[in-house]
Amino acid sequence: MLNLIGTYECKADVKGRVMVPSPLKKQLQQIMSDGFVIKRAVFQPCLEMYPMKEWNDLMQKMGHLNRFNRKNNDFIRRFSAGVKIVELDATGRLLLSKDLLLFAGIQRDIVISSSINIVEIWDKEKYEQVINDSSNDFANLAEDVMGGLSDGADGIS
């Protein structure tokens, strides 16, 4: 499984091109030729960039949903709204479409943040708001999400 690491501040030019930071590009080097999928995030005003293998794995799971169930069909439609296939150009830039930039509220200053096997692309100000707003109760969130997990018999995670 892909395990990306890092948070990077970048700038988007007037055409929506973003230079992918070198440390992230090095992590993506092995899979760069396969391309990526960029989509609107479900829970936050940001974009999510999936390596093609991760996207295909997710689509395989979603392919098992019954399309004759209205909720499933509505979910698939909304989940895939605005999905784009992208590749890095020869200079290592990523082109973000106008509709996706508008959705995420990205003007110029952005944050590219790893999220295990995908990359989130944020407007810098919105990213900082989300991180700062959630930091007040991050301890409770960590306990709720991770508190029941234990890797060994000793109870130490």
pLDDT at 64: 94
Instruction: Please write the tens of the pLDDT for every residue from 45-59.
Output: 999 999 999 999 999
The total domain count for the chain is 1
* pLDDT above 70 as % of the chain: 92
pTM score of the predicted model: 0.88
Q: Give CA–CA dist 153/142, Å, rounded.
A: 21
The span from the first CA to the last CA of the chain, in angstroms, equals: 20
Residues forming a β-bridge with 39: 48
In a domain, 104, yes or no: yes
Residues of the domain holding 21: 7-146
Residue 152, domain member (yes or no):
no
- The CATH number of whichever domain residue 141 belongs to comes to 3.40.1550.20
Could you give the angle at the alpha carbon of 120 between the alpha carbons of 135 and 23, nearest 5°? 100
- Locate 85 and state its tokens: 């296939």
Query: Taking 90 as the threshold, does the pLDDT of residue 151 lie above it?
Result: no
Residue 157 is assigned to a structural domain of this protein: no
Indicate whether 98 pLDDT > 90: yes
Q: Is the pLDDT of residue 73 over 80?
A: yes
Task: Tell me, rounded to whole angstroms, the distance of Cα 68 from its chain centroid.
Answer: 29
Would the pLDDT of 154 be above 90? no
Lowest average pLDDT, out of 25-34, 72-81, 139-148, goes to 139-148
